[in-house]
Structure 1
Amino acid sequence: MAALPHIVCFFVSTAGKNGDELGADEEQIVQLVYLLYDQNNNKVVDVQQHFVKPQPNELAETVLTEDCKTETGLDEELVKQAPPLDHALEEFDRFLSAKGVHPDHGGRSFCLLTDGQAHLRQCVQHECCKKNISLPSYFYRFYDLRKEFRKFYKTDTVSSIKFMIDYLNLDEDGSVEYGVRQCQEMAKILTRLVNDGHTFGDSEIINERLEGGICTKNEYVSDGLVVRARGLPWQSSDQDIARFFKGLNIAKGGVALCLSPQGRRNGEALIRFESEEHRDLALKRHKHHIGQRYIEVYKASGKDFINVAGGNNSEAQAFLSRGGQTIIRMRGLPFTSTTQQVRSPINTHSLKTPTINVSS
Structure 2
Amino acid sequence: MAVSYLVALFCASAGKNGEELGSDEEQVILFVYLLYDVTNNKVVALQQHYVKPQPNELSETVLTEECKTETGLDENMIKNGQPLDHVLEEFDRFLYSKGVHPDHGGKSFCFVSDGPNHIRQCFHPETCNKNINLPAYFNKYYDLRKEFKKYYKTDVIKNIKAMLDYLGLEGDQSVEYGVRQCQEMASIVHRLINDGHVFGESDIVSERLEPGICSKNEFVDDNSVVRARGLPWQSSDQDIARFFKGLNISKGGVALCLSPQGRRNGEALVRFESEEHRDLAIRRHKHHIGQRYIEVYKATGKDFINVAGGSNTEAQAFLSRGGQVIIRMRGLPFTATTQQVYTSLQVF
Instruction: Answer yes or no: same fold by TM over 0.5.
Output: yes
Aligned partners of 1:205 and 1:149: how far apart in 2? 18
The corresponding residue for 1:330 is 329
Aligned partners of 1:126 and 1:22: how far apart in 2? 12
Matched, 1:113 2:112: yes
SS at the partner of 1:199?
coil
Q: How far does residue 338 in structure 1 lie from its aligned partner after superposition?
A: 1.4
The corresponding residue for 1:316 is 315
Aligned partners of 2:131 and 2:29: how far apart in 1? 18
Aligned partners of 2:195 and 2:130: how far apart in 1? 42
Q: How far does residue 337 in structure 1 lie from its aligned partner after superposition?
A: 1.2
Q: How far does residue 174 in structure 1 lie from its aligned partner after superposition?
A: 3.6
The corresponding residue for 2:52 is 53
- With normalisation by structure 1, the TM-score equals 0.95
Q: How far does residue 347 in structure 1 lie from its aligned partner after superposition?
A: 7.0
Aligned partners of 2:327 and 2:100: how far apart in 1? 46
Aligned partners of 1:153 and 1:314: how far apart in 2? 47
SS at the partner of 2:16?
coil
Matched, 1:133 2:132: yes
The corresponding residue for 1:357 is none
Q: Percent identity?
A: 74
1:338-349 alignment, distance < 5 Å? 338-346=337-345
Aligned partners of 1:21 and 1:41: how far apart in 2? 35
Show CA shifts across 1:230-272 (max 9, x none).
0000000000000000000000000000000000000000000
The corresponding residue for 1:245 is 244
Aligned partners of 2:322 and 2:263: how far apart in 1? 26
Aligned partners of 2:52 and 2:229: how far apart in 1? 31
Q: How far does residue 345 in structure 1 lie from its aligned partner after superposition?
A: 4.2
SS at the partner of 2:181?
helix
Which deviates more from structure 2 when the two are superposed, residues 157-166 or residues 8-17? Answer: 157-166
The corresponding residue for 2:282 is 283
The corresponding residue for 1:215 is 214
Aligned partners of 1:227 and 1:4: how far apart in 2? 35
Q: How far does residue 140 in structure 1 lie from its aligned partner after superposition?
A: 0.3
Aligned partners of 2:346 and 2:204: how far apart in 1? 42
SS at the partner of 1:254?
strand
How many pairs are equivalent?
Answer: 347
Which deviates more from structure 2 when the two are superposed, residues 131-140 or residues 177-186? Answer: 131-140
Structure 2 unaligned regions, length at least 5:
none
Q: Report the residue type matching 1:83 in the other structure.
A: Q
Q: How far does residue 67 in structure 1 lie from its aligned partner after superposition?
A: 0.9
Show CA shifts across 1:167-202 (max 9, x none).
111111244310000000000000000001100110
Aligned partners of 1:324 and 1:266: how far apart in 2? 26
The corresponding residue for 1:28 is 27
Aligned partners of 2:156 and 2:299: how far apart in 1? 26
SS at the partner of 1:344?
helix
The corresponding residue for 2:37 is 38
The corresponding residue for 1:186 is 185
Q: Report the residue type matching 1:243 in the other structure.
A: R
The corresponding residue for 1:91 is 90
The corresponding residue for 1:352 is none
Aligned partners of 1:196 and 1:224: how far apart in 2? 35
Aligned partners of 1:289 and 1:157: how far apart in 2? 34
Aligned partners of 2:173 and 2:345: how far apart in 1? 66
Q: How far does residue 131 in structure 1 lie from its aligned partner after superposition?
A: 0.8
Structure 1 residues 347 and 124, CA gap change in structure 2 (3 angstroms): closer
Aligned partners of 2:134 and 2:335: how far apart in 1? 50
Show CA shifts across 1:103-139 (max 9, x none).
1111111110000000000000010111111111110
Aligned partners of 1:131 and 1:209: how far apart in 2? 17
The corresponding residue for 1:82 is 81
- With normalisation by structure 2, the TM-score equals 0.98
SS at the partner of 2:227?
strand
Show CA shifts across 1:324-345 (max 9, x none).
2211111111112111111114
Structure 1 stretches of 4+ moved >4 Å: none
Aligned partners of 1:190 and 1:173: how far apart in 2? 15
The corresponding residue for 2:147 is 148
Aligned partners of 1:97 and 1:346: how far apart in 2? 48
Aligned partners of 2:52 and 2:77: how far apart in 1? 9
Aligned partners of 2:60 and 2:284: how far apart in 1? 24
Structure 1 unaligned regions, length at least 5:
349-360
Show CA shifts across 1:148-181 (max 9, x none).
0011111113211111111111111244310000
